[in-house]
Amino acid sequence: MPATILVVDDESLIRWTLAERLGADGHVVVEAETAKAALARFGSDIDLVLLDFKLPDSDGLTVLKTMKAKDADVPVILLTAFSSIETAVEAMKQGRITTPTSRSTSTSCRSSCRRRWKRPGCGGR
């Protein structure tokens, strides 16, 4: 079953690449370039979120916390090229589902989405 995936990144090339790859897998992709836009587009129709850690108007952990307050069950993959142990630990506390990955590897992102979507109870929340 295809998912509706919210891709949040301030870099248009990253959003475009992920949208192309995930769209080719049959998913519907909703894009946002800022935290404000991401929170405006986030709702019950979103099945999975790919969230950049560094955004122009906020950070990914703040956005993650807000999204989890609205929907504790939504899976979120935090993307960052600026990973640290502290970031990973804080993200785990907020309910992020995978280890932060480099945004430069859309294949890695796509694989994370596939693995997450194959888990029991995850498809078509």
**Is 74 contained in some domain?**
yes
User: How far apart (Å, rounded) are the C-alpha atoms in residues 66 and 97?
Assistant: 16
Q: Which residue segment(s) compose the domain that 102 sits in? A: 4-118
**Is 40 contained in some domain?**
yes
How much of the chain, in percent, has pLDDT values that exceed 70?
A: 64
Q: How many domains does the chain have?
A: 1
pLDDT in tens, 102-123: 444 455 555 655 665 554 444 4
The CATH number covering residue 22 comes to: 3.40.50.2300
**Is 124 contained in some domain?**
no
Which residue has better confidence, 76 or 100?
76
Please state the rounded mean pLDDT for residues 21-27: 93
| DSSP string across 16-75 | HHHHHHHHHTT-EEEEESSHHHHHHH-STT--EEEEESEETTEEHHHHHHHHHHH-TT--
Please state the rounded mean pLDDT for residues 33-43: 98
pLDDT of 97 over the 60 cut: no
Residue 63: predicted pLDDT: 94
